[in-house]
Amino acid sequence: MSGPKTLFDKIWESHVVAENDDGTTLLYIDKHLIHEVTSWTGFERMAEDGRGVRRPDATLGVPDHSIPTRNRAAGVAGIGDPLGRGQVEALIANCERFGVPLIPLTDLRQGIVHIIGPEQGLTLPGATLVCGDSHTATHGAFGCLAFGIGSSEVEHVLATQTLSQKRPRNMRIAVAGDLPPGVAAKDMILAVIGVIGTAGGTGHVVEYAGAAIRALSMEGRMTVCNMTIEGGARAGLVAPDETTFAYLKGRPMAPAGDHWDRAVAHWRTLASDEGAAYDKEATIEAADIAPQITWGTSPEDVIPVTGRTPDPAAAPDEKRREAISQALDYMALAPDAPIEGVAVDRVFIGSCTNGRIEDLRAAAAVARGRRVPDGVGAMVVPGSGLVKRQAEEEGLDRIFVEAGFEWRDAGCSMCIAMNDDKLAPGERCASTSNRNFKGRQGRGGRTHLVSPAMAAAAAVSGRFVDVREMLS
Amino acid sequence: MRTFTTLSGPAAPLPMINVDTDQIIPKQYLTAITRAGLGKGLFHDFRYDMEDRERPDFVLNREPWNEACILIAGENFGCGSSREHAPWALEDFGIRCVIAPGFADIFFNNCVKNGILLIALPEDNVNTLMADAENPQACRMRVDLEAQTIMRASGETVGFEIEPFRKHRLLEGLDDIGITMARAAEIDAFEARQKAAQPWLYGADIPDSAG
Ligand code: SF4
């Protein structure tokens, strides 16, 4: 097929190993990240079948989901839950047995798998990258075709470095104009999901474009791509540009010397061609985006902080009415009421969506010189050990601690609550993570998704406020 | 992999939209390194109260649906986390077919890999089957993958579409890795070409020193 191509078309077509008889494509996978929760079954079956890892050099393991965010010096022994500890031990043993490099718990570079890939320069433009984790979409910020897979597919990649996939369709989401002050990348992606819905991207790869996307830093682009899965699409992409190259240059695993120049020359050819066609398109005006907050139990249940909760009586159909009523009920919110002023019990700043240095800076700018009121528990969990060290070098940890936040070690933490960091039943949390599903942060817990600045504003106010009013 | 040909038994109604995989199997079941017993955790928070007692009003806790092998659900079933524990839990409970207006992509792939048939039908058809499922006298159905039909208790049949490659995989119970392994020469050739053109994608070992 010639003619104008999209960024996605170019990456896909350059990774076709073969077309299978059944209409799927055997796609080559360049990079494979693994963590403790979704890799053990693949390794177990490979051992049974006497198979090996085809390319250990393209694979990297890191424990992140079920590890404690305190007392990290204790290493694996410090994991209180015996099952979680067993899973991390299995990851370590499997990586050793199959020769896969691993970043251990005690390493400064340990962190959330989607934070460390970019940080180490493993995530590269034009490449394909997978991980047994739906937020693999994060890496698309580099123009890297990255998507989450299940455990059977993890095994398939370990054994063959390929996957059989049906070719997805192209979707383009443009965010036009400039983002207003006090509005972050997180607000942008929440607004996008509010427009397209949680199934709006199903079957598609989304390319984010437009001036507001181009103006984002790499970290902002990662936040946007990260939540692509919350809009139903497995992968999001941003065309690589000078911002991308500047971020990657000099990273430990990025190409160097002559390879760097050749790589950049290749990466410059990846952007979508003029006139390339998309199966679906949407445009959003950045100027219309206010700080966002979710009110319900799906990421599409989102409103501006100045908005009101929905009224089930106004829902278009019975199923939707039922869903809204149930969500409001679970969240203990009144229908058709302002969200601003609702009191919070807990605040969580972290996750692969918002656990990078710029996120912590944005939160610290709000927290500085203010104080978390008694009765509110706020915690900051950096996305990696390197993010933590950088924040400490900048003095952000002191700002947080003086404002009454807890300063923790890196990991997924209360994004998924597989360690000790979880909500008690009924507790209401302002969270910078990506999923407000029922019970996600602890059974009966109530999660509101917000940006880091909005989370910090909620922490020091004890309730949801419009952060723009605190930034003058 | 287990094959899927035909399936008969009670269908359970779950008339909710956007049921995510955290609801299908919550995180406390993700830390084990065995799949055994996941069926106990299927829809955990719907099935058990805060003291872990069964909720008698939840459909899968009631006869005849406690023996359900088919589930009828709302749109975008299986969204969210990529956890394959979701199909494992369905299968361990005994559910091998889910019928809904639409499914999330990763969940769809994970189900095919585990011999679970997902049938996407127009909303009207789902509503009809949902009404059948809610009626204990009409909730038994028969799914025939080869013929691509669902037979209702009334004897009427509803046809469904499925992509040929998914149908083939389910009917034959194919070992995907074995099939791909047979293409090793093509993978070798791809790697040789790519390594010449983009050598930076090879051998980038993680450096030993921190920082
Ligand atoms: S931070 Fe949350 S979303 Fe990201 S990988 Fe960890 S558990 Fe998944």
Range of the domain at B63: 6-201
CA distances in angstroms from A217 to A120, A171, A212, A387, listed in the order given:
17, 22, 10, 16
Q: Report the gap between the CA of A327 and the closest CA in chain B (Å).
A: 11
Q: Which CATH superfamily is domain A169-253+265-288 in?
A: Aconitase, Domain 2 (3.40.1060.10)
For residue A142, the surrounding DSSP H or E stretch is none
Sequence length of chain A is 472
B42 — pLDDT class (breaks 50, 70, 90): very high
pLDDT at B211: 36
Residue B81 lies in a domain: yes
Residues within a 6 A CB radius of ligand 1: A 64-65, 112, 114, 133, 135, 351-352, 412, 415-416, 433-434
Looking at CA atoms only, how far is residue A287 from chain B in angstroms? 29
Model pLDDT for residues A288-300, shown as the tens digit of each residue: 999 999 999 999 9
**Is B192 an interface residue toward A (CB < 8 Å)?**
no
d(C-alpha A189, C-alpha A202), whole Å: 16
Domain covering A7-165, topology: Aconitase; domain 3 (3.30.499)
Q: Flag whether residue B102 sits within 8 Å of chain A, measured between CB atoms.
A: yes
Q: Residue B106 falls within a domain, yes or no?
A: yes
pLDDT in tens, A290-334: 999 999 999 999 999 999 999 999 999 888 999 999 999 999 999
- The ranges assigned to domains in chain A are 7-165, 169-253+265-288, 292-470
Could you tell me which residue, A271 or A71, shows the higher pLDDT? Answer: A271
- Domain assignment of residue B206, yes or no: no
pLDDT tens track for B131-185: 999 999 999 999 999 999 999 999 999 999 999 888 998 999 888 898 899 999 9
Residue A124 C-alpha to ligand 1 middle, in angstroms? 21
CB atoms within 10 A of CB A417: 23
Say how many domains are in chain B.
1
| Pairing, β A128-131 against β A31-34 | parallel
Q: Which CATH superfamily is domain A292-470 in?
A: Aconitase, domain 3 (3.30.499.10)
Q: What is the mean pLDDT of residues A466-470?
A: 96
| Residue A417 Cα to ligand 1 middle (Å) | 10
Give B47's contacts in chain A (Cβ within 8 Å): none
Let me know if residue B67 belongs to a domain.
yes
Query: For position A171, what pLDDT does the model report?
Result: 98
Q: Do domains A7-165 and A169-253+265-288 have the same CATH topology?
A: no
B109 touches chain A (CB under 8 A): yes
**Is B113's CB within 8 Å of A150's CB?**
yes
- How far does residue A395's CA lie from ligand 1's centre (Å)? 26
pTM, entire model: 0.95
Q: What is the pLDDT of residue B204?
A: 60
Report if residue B127 sits inside a domain: yes
Instruction: Report the nearest atom of ligand 1 relative to the CA of A434.
Output: 3
Ligand 1 center to residue A2 CA distance, Å?
A: 39
Assigned domain for B192 exists? yes
Q: Are residues A339 and A295 in contact, defined by beta-carbon separation less than 8 angstroms?
A: yes
**Nearest CB partner across the interface for B79, out of A198, A262, A386:** A198
User: Can you give the CATH number for the domain in which B152 is found?
Assistant: 3.20.19.10
Chain A: nearest CA to B54, how far in angstroms?
A: 16
Residue A102 is classified by DSSP as: B
DSSP string, B55-80: -TTSGGGSTTGGG-SEEEE-SSBTBS
Q: Whose Cα sits closest to atom 4 in ligand 1?
A: A352
Find the CB nearest A148 among B106, B165, B204. Answer: B106
pLDDT of residue B209: 42
